[in-house]
Structure 1
Amino acid sequence: MTKKIAISVPDDVAERLAKEPNVSAFITASVRGLMAGERTRQALREVGFVLTDAGLAEAGRKLDEAQAKITPELRAKAAALLSESSRGRLEIRD
């Protein structure tokens, strides 16, 4: 079942949405992604993880820093290793 709703958004969001061929699908996917994150955080809390906004922000910064270190050359090398390992030809070197 679907429900039609009207929303108000800031200009920058409206400009972004205007680029989408199917705004409803885009919004649905975006909100479902947020809902999945909420479920994940809730599950982590239920098994004892203490999640704070500050801790999540710090983890996000660390992830951004790590991703920034991935060069195109490193990405290509990783893809080649993955390809070789999936064919059973990976040679482990020290």
Structure 2
Amino acid sequence: MGMTVRIAVSLPDDVAERLAREPNVSRFVAEAVRQQIRRERSMDLLAQAGYVFDETDIEAGQQLITEHLGSVSPELAARADERLSRWKRR
């Protein structure tokens, strides 16, 4: 396992209330950030493939992706990220 870093953040009340229900807040936040990273990588790859849409229209963009490429499970996305990382290191 990699190194960990303690970070203090200020959050809106609704977000803090949701996190208060989590038994392991660090794990929950780490996974949420990892999902965002995967989303950003996916958006970059899609843009390279010619699928470009505005951040404000993300729902329509997701629908377009689903229609063109089909649904991608979180497991499949993680495997794709792993393979892409290995490919980029070459």
Determine if the TM-score, normalized by the shorter chain, exceeds 0.5: yes
CA distance in 1, matches of 2:51, 2:41: 14
Checking the alignment, whether the CA contact within 8 Å between 2:53 and 2:61 is kept in structure 1 is no
Q: Which has the higher contact order (CA 8 A, sep 6+)?
A: 2
2:22 alignment counterpart: 20
The superposition leaves residues 5-58 of structure 1 with CA deviations (integer Å, 9 ceiling, x where unpaired) of 101101111110000000000000001001100000000111222222354233
**Which 4+ residue blocks in structure 1 deviate beyond 3 angstroms?**
none
Report whether the alignment pairs 1:44 with 2:40. no
2:33 alignment counterpart: 31
What is the total number of aligned residue pairs between the two structures? 62
TM-score, with length taken from structure 1: 0.58
Checking the alignment, whether the CA contact within 8 Å between 2:22 and 2:28 is kept in structure 1 is yes
Q: CA RMSD in A?
A: 2.0
Larger radius of gyration, structure 1 or 2?
1
Q: Percent identity?
A: 45
Unaligned runs of 5+ in 1: 64-94
Unaligned runs of 5+ in 2: 65-90
Checking the alignment, whether the CA contact within 8 Å between 1:17 and 1:23 is kept in structure 2 is yes
